[in-house]
Amino acid sequence: MKKIPLAIPHMSGNEMAYIEHAFNTNWIAPVGPNVDLFEKKISSYTLSHVAATSSGTAAIHLALIVLGVTAGDHVFCPSFTFSASANPIHYQGAEAVFIDSEIISWNMSPVALEKALLDAKKRNKLPKAVIVTHIYGQPAKMTEILEITEAYGVPVIEDAAESLGSTYKGMQTGTIGSLGIYSFNGNKIITTSGGGMLVSQNETLIQEAKFLSEQAKEPAPYYQHEKIGYNYRLSNISAGIGCGQIEVLDERIMQKRCIFAMYQEAFSELNFQQELPDTFSNRWLTAIQSERLNPLLLKNKLGSEGIEGRLLWKPLHMQPVYKSNSFYSERNTGEKSSAQILFETGFCLPSATQMTQDEQWSVIQKVSEFMELKGNII
């Protein structure tokens, strides 16, 4: 039985030429022409200054450092996201304060954010930064969020790990806040096997991050260090994969959006993450949501058919490692948070761009069978 995966790397075919070039020129290092070219390509795609990093997580860590986040600081972060959005806050000895999502876009709730900032102001403990994710590719409500954060003078870091190519009012996600990051991990919309990118309109911040990511070597005829450095640059070999991948980014987005559209058409009884007005989602992963959905049961049932699905993010404020961190729900006390509702009633469907229409059709049939959907299934 051929397995149907959730999301897997999908090469363009041109990656090997860039990798061979790295070998032929002996640039087997976290520096070299592929790194430069990959940065140039992402820079012109996003109209931003950029620094290639060894991972998206490393890029978030650098963003926090250049914004001056240090021990004892608070940083706001969505609860409904991957743990890598929040972990770098704790690398800095700072503390994550978790913010609820909204049910429509599944991203940071401006209502919960405002509650949290109001409370922080009262306690005289405003956060040093707010991290906003664009989950599964759907842009968050950036205008509303920036209006609130700007009123409190707090910078925003966009975790656009999953949303390269998604736009908000015509702007690329990741380029709207003070800093943004992309991930090129294996299952993302394009991959370098492992890698990331820090982006910003502010060239000074990017230069500082690049300096820190290369071990903070001061310009001197010997090794001179005035700051703690990191080994966070992207390998020239990995960057070669990225150079081949960026060539097919727009094609992958089109394919992902077709996959989403086919699911949406088939499951008229289920809810989907909504594309807000003026936003364009790369639809990295298609997820369904319904009060009738039992995600664990569905995962097991699909699994027995060789179909890989995944539960939505378990909210970080419900994770054992973050159990003592604060959380601000968009709902009233005593009610379940939106993040928890999403986790308990949502499910990610296979969204690999190599999936054939027949394969997707069989996923649709299995899900319909298990959930006893009627709707407009033919």
Ligand X SMILES: *Cc1c(COP(=O)(O)O)cnc(C)c1O
Known catalytic residues are 188
185 touching ligand X, by CB under 6 A: yes
CB of 9 to ligand X, least distance (A): 13
Q: Does 85 bind ligand X (CB under 6 A)?
A: yes
Residue 238 contacts ligand X per CB under 6 A: no
Cα 198 to the chain's mean position, in Å?
12
Q: Is 282 in the site for ligand X (CB under 6 A)?
A: no
Q: Which is nearer to ligand X, 18 or 82 (CB)?
A: 82
The nearer residue to ligand X, 130 or 371, going by C-beta atoms, is 130
The strand pair at 49-53 and 196-200 is best described as antiparallel
Beta carbon nearer to ligand X, 173 or 360? 173
Could you tell me which residues come within 8 angstroms of residue 15 by beta carbon, excluding any fewer than 6 positions away?
240, 241, 243, 244, 245
- The CA angle 236-49-197, to the nearest 5 degrees, is 45
Determine if 56 is a binding residue for ligand X (CB under 6 A). yes
Q: Near ligand X by CB under 6 A, which window of 55-63, 104-112, 168-176, 214-222?
A: 55-63
Cβ proximity to ligand X: between 60 and 243 the closer is: 60
Determine contact, residues 309/347, Cβ cutoff 8 Å: yes
Chain centroid offset of residue 362 CA: 28
Q: Please work out the total of residues on this chain that contact ligand X, with binding judged by CB under 6 A.
A: 14
Q: Which amino acid would we find at residue 297?
A: L
Q: What is the DSSP string of 263-326?
A: HHHH-TTSEE----TTEE----SEEEE-TT--HHHHHHHHHTTTB--EEPPPPGGGSGGGTTS-
Residue 132 CB, nearest distance to ligand X (Å)? 10
Q: Compare residues 92 and 133 and give the one whose CB is closer to ligand X.
A: 133
Which residue in the shown chain puts its C-beta closest to ligand X? 56
- Strands 95-99 and 167-168, how do they pair? unpaired
Does 133 engage in binding with ligand X (CB under 6 A)?
yes
Given the structure tokens 């070039």, which residue do they identify?
21
Nearer to ligand X (CB atom), residue 181 or residue 302 = 181
Dihedral sign (CA 83, 85, 86, 91): positive
Per the listing, tokens 């380029």 go with 175
Least Å from the CB of residue 205 to ligand X = 19
Q: Are 164 and 59 in contact (CB under 8 A)?
A: no
Binding mask 194-233 for ligand X (x = CB under 6 A): --x-------------------------------------
**β-sheet bridge partners, residue 288:** 272, 347
Of 48, 138, 183, 337, the residue at the interface with ligand X (CB under 6 A) is: 183
107 binding ligand X? (CB under 6 A):
no
Structure tokens that stand for 312 in this block: 């939505």
What is d(CA 166, CA 122) in angstroms, rounded to the nearest whole number?
36
DSSP 19-58: HHHHHHTT--SS-SHHHHHHHHHHHHHHTSEEEEES-HHH
159 binds ligand X per the rule CB under 6 A: yes
Of the listed pieces 111-119, 123-131, 158-166, 326-334, which binds ligand X according to CB under 6 A?
Answer: 158-166
- By CB under 6 A, tell whether 84 contacts ligand X: yes
Among 34, 46, 57, 271, binds ligand X (CB under 6 A): 57
Q: Residues 34, 46, 48, 55: which binds ligand X (CB under 6 A)?
A: 55
Residue 68 backbone zone (phi > 0: left; psi -120 to 50: alpha; other: beta): left
| CB nearer ligand X, residue 102 or residue 162 | 162
At its nearest, how many Å lie between ligand X and the CB of residue 239?
A: 14
Q: Does residue number 161 form part of the binding site for ligand X (CB under 6 A)?
A: yes
| Nearest distance in Å: CB 313, ligand X | 8
CB of 218 to ligand X, least distance (A): 28
Interface residues with ligand X (CB under 6 A) are 55-57, 81-82, 84-85, 133, 159, 161-162, 183, 185, 196
